[in-house]
Amino acid sequence: MRRFLPFVCLVILSSAALAQNNSPLSVESSFWALKFYDADSNQYKLSELIKPFEGRQPAHQLIRKANNQRDLALFCQISGGFLTIYPFVSEALDREANYNMSLIGIGLIVVSIPIEISARRKAYEAVLSYNQSLNIKPQAALKLGFNGLGFCLRF
């Protein structure tokens, strides 16, 4: 009885630990961004998903790459927008406008589009990988071997 009670407590605690924070995520796509929701309808940003994905290695790598690519695309979009508008503002202020900057800005915006698409695809794949890793259930088995009776818990 003394050996059986700690064993039961261990099984109950391990099942409770595995049941925590295992809610699948859903993804909604709009023109502007991806929106991530859990089972309780809490919305997450892409940068907020890095911490929960730490235990699942393929999903964690994909979500980090997606976050880095999204940051690069956002930088290109903001700087491209500034370079595109600056010559027109200069002309409005009666300064000499350099329209080559506007062309460079448009080029940066065009370059940011495939980077943004790639970041969205990787984020979606990371969520799919995360949700698939949640479906793996631990298997408990009672094994009888040459040296005695044993308990096996496989993931």
The band of 22, judged by pLDDT with boundaries at 50, 70 and 90, is: low
Place of tokens 């994905």: 53
Token representation of residue 70: 């999204």
Q: What's the CA gap between 139 and 34, in Å, rounded?
A: 35
pLDDT tens string 26-83: 888 777 778 888 888 888 888 888 888 888 888 899 999 999 999 999 999 999 999 9
Q: What is the pLDDT of residue 2?
A: 65
**For residue 40, which amino acid is it?**
D
Q: What is the pLDDT of residue 47?
A: 86
**Residue 128: is its pLDDT beyond 70?**
yes
Q: What is the pLDDT of residue 81?
A: 96
The band of 91, judged by pLDDT with boundaries at 50, 70 and 90, is: very high
Angle at 16 between CA 14 and CA 20, to 5 degrees: 115
**Residue 139: is its pLDDT beyond 80?**
no
Cα–Cα distances (Å) from 24 to 41, 56, 61, 127, in that order, read 11, 13, 18, 8
Q: What is the pLDDT of residue 20?
A: 47
Q: pTM of the entire structure?
A: 0.69
User: What is the 3-state composition of the chain as percent helix, strand, coil, each rounded to the nearest 5?
Assistant: 60, 15, 25
Identify which of 133, 23, 121 has the alpha carbon closest to the alpha carbon of residue 70: 121
62 contacts 133 by C-beta, under 8 angstroms: no
Of residues 16 and 39, the one with the higher pLDDT is 39
56 contacts 133 by C-beta, under 8 angstroms: yes
Task: List beta partners, residue 143.
Answer: 150
Task: List beta partners, residue 36.
Answer: 27, 44
